[in-house]
């Protein structure tokens, strides 16, 4: 988040409560913790997608970013989705699929992930908070 300009400094996971001050929120598609995404069933992803749609319809953010292309494809039944902006919307909320920062996703480096997150930040017309 910091490398892509969303936050002025690197935040610790325990500081996620500070994200709304930057116009950001965070949630999970599936609330159950696992070591690997393949430990979750397709139905868990689909149910999580339905809950996420209901939350987005209620809160109406400008953008929804889903981390993990497999999670997005399964939760939203879009097998052809690719990383980046999606054609699907939820009401007026636009959707962007982002790479998963898991170590199992080795073809994405910290630099290339930060670049993709920054593409979202620029598209969402959010300022670069790194001071660069």
Answering whether pTM is above 0.85, one says yes
CA 125 – CA 15 distance, rounded (Å): 24
Lookup result for tokens 């970013």:
65
Question: Using an 8 Å Cβ cutoff, are 66 and 96 in contact?
Answer: yes
State whether the Cα torsion 32-34-36-38 is positive or negative: negative
Lateral strand order in the sheet of 93-98: 63-67, 93-98, 84-90
CA 79 – CA 110 distance, rounded (Å): 25
For residue 55, the 8-state DSSP code is H
pLDDT at 132: 63
Q: What is the pLDDT along the chain (132 residues), one digit of tens a residue?
A: 899 999 999 999 899 889 888 888 888 889 888 877 788 899 999 999 999 999 999 999 999 999 889 899 999 999 999 999 999 999 999 999 998 876 666 788 889 989 999 999 999 989 999 876
pLDDT at 105: 67
């Amino acid at each position: 988040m910091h490398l892509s300009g969303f936050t002025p400094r690197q935040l610790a996971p325990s500081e996620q409560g500070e994200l709304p001050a930057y116009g950001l929120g965070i949630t999970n598609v599936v609330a159950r913790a696992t070591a690997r995404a393949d430990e979750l069933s397709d139905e868990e992803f689909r149910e999580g997608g339905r809950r996420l749609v209901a939350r987005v319809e209620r809160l109406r953010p400008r953008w929804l970013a889903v981390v993990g292309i497999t999670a997005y494809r399964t939760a939203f039944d879009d097998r052809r989705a690719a990383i980046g902006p999606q054609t699907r919307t939820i009401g007026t909320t636009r959707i962007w699929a982002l790479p998963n920062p898991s170590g199992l996703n080795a073809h994405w480096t910290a630099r290339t992930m930060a670049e993709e997150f920054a593409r979202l930040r620029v598209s969402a017309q959010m300022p670069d908070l790194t001071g660069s």
